[in-house]
Amino acid sequence: MAAYGALVSLMHIIDRIKNHPSPPIYLDKQQVESLTENITFLQDFLDAYISPVVDDHEADPLERRIADAVYAAEDVIESQIVVQIDNRSTIHGKMSSFINLLRALCKCVTIKDDYYHDLQQVIEEMNFIKKEAMEIAAAAQQQRKVSSTHVGSSSAVKESIMVGFDEVLVEVLDKLTGGQLRRQIIPIMGMGGIGKTTLARHVFEHALVKQRFDICAWTTISQTYKVRETLRDVLYQASGDPECDLIENQLGQKSQISEGKLGLKLYQYLWGRRYLIIMDDIWSIEVWNKFRSSFPDCKNGSRIIVTTRLSNFNLQLGESYGVGMKFLDEASSWDLLCKTVFGGESFPPELRRTLQRKL
């Protein structure tokens, strides 16, 4: 990234001048503070910035403006260094003439004023860019807050009752919020209807998860999945952009971007952010392999939960950890039936006795 490299270079120049025992030029303290503040902010901004420009051959306008402003600052500083070195040589060569010496000194003062003015203009441009970057960062933060609670049409999370899996829930939450920083895939495995999706829903809605992750997204795969629709669903939840899969041409017309570019766009958006993606009902390891390259490993504790009917899915993934869902015992089964049928009301004793006799 040219803009980021230019910022690093400018900061290096400023540091060398500040720390030099005999600096070649004078740096105004207030200007140095302004430059340093702008450089630091813009570096942090670019670390998390996802360019809206899809075409790799097209430069991002904001990044270009940042680079141009930095190059302008470098030109002003380096030009002043050259002028000062030249003037010092002129002054030393005219020490025999007091009038010439005064003229040379006056010329230095004039050049110094021009230098201060030129550098101040560059700082003001960087201030404008910083303000624009702050607005972009604030909008992105708001989108992340919305996406953490938004669930797309194919991933509606309904209210559900969970009984008998409290210990498993705590175990999964521990895996999500602690442990290793590498991206980890957590399979929840078991036969159909055993409660995999219910457990995943409770994890997804848990307060600890919402606090821990910058982005939370849920998508249902099943047997009739479509790669492009799944990628778009996750990216929409992550970015909050309803047109996340569209690109506008020079004529202002919009068309769908390719499946590969959509996966790359999702990768770029997730990069640098701690995310939790839940992929419900995956039927084969081949399905996961179609999506895995879209989820970056930023070594920041991101997690992916996969629910599947395959009992050895964790081994196929190369993961040592997996949640194997088991049948409920008799007490938990009665508890689930009671809560499902009667909600908060107690189970009628006469009905319970009748059911027990028939069972």
Q: Is position 339 within any domain?
A: no
Q: What is the mean pLDDT of residues 19-45?
A: 81
| Same-domain status, 302 and 190 | yes
Q: What is the mean pLDDT of residues 44-51?
A: 77
Alpha carbon 19 to its chain centroid, in Å, reads 35
- What's this model's pTM, rounded to 2 decimal places? 0.49
Distance between CA atoms of 204 and 162, rounded to whole angstroms? 13
pLDDT tens per residue, range 240-278: 888 888 876 666 677 888 889 999 999 999 999 999 999
230, 154: one domain: yes
Residue 103 lies in a domain: yes
Which CATH number belongs to the domain containing residue 201 in this structure?
3.40.50.300
Choose one of 95, 130, 148: the last residue of a domain: 148
Strand spans (E) along 181-286: 184-189, 215-220, 246-248, 254-256, 275-282
Residue-number span of the structural domain to which 267 is assigned: 150-327
pLDDT at 100 exceeding the cut of 50: yes
Residue 17 lies in a domain: yes
pLDDT of 217? 93
Number of domain units in the chain: 2
pLDDT at residue 148 in the model: 46
Q: Do residues 115 and 238 both lie within one domain?
A: no
Task: Rank 44-53, 153-162, 227-236 by mean pLDDT and report only the highest.
Answer: 227-236
Percent of the chain beyond pLDDT 90? 13
Round the average pLDDT of the chain to a whole number and report it. 76
Burial (CB < 10 A; 0-12, 13-18, 19+), residue 11, is middle
State pLDDT tens for residues 83-96. 766 555 554 544 44
**169 in the same domain as 127:** no
The helix, strand and coil proportions of the chain, stated in percent and rounded to the nearest 5, come to 60, 10, 30
Q: How confident is the model at residue 109 (pLDDT cuts 50, 70, 90)?
A: very low
Helix (H, G, I), strand (E, B) or coil at 82: helix
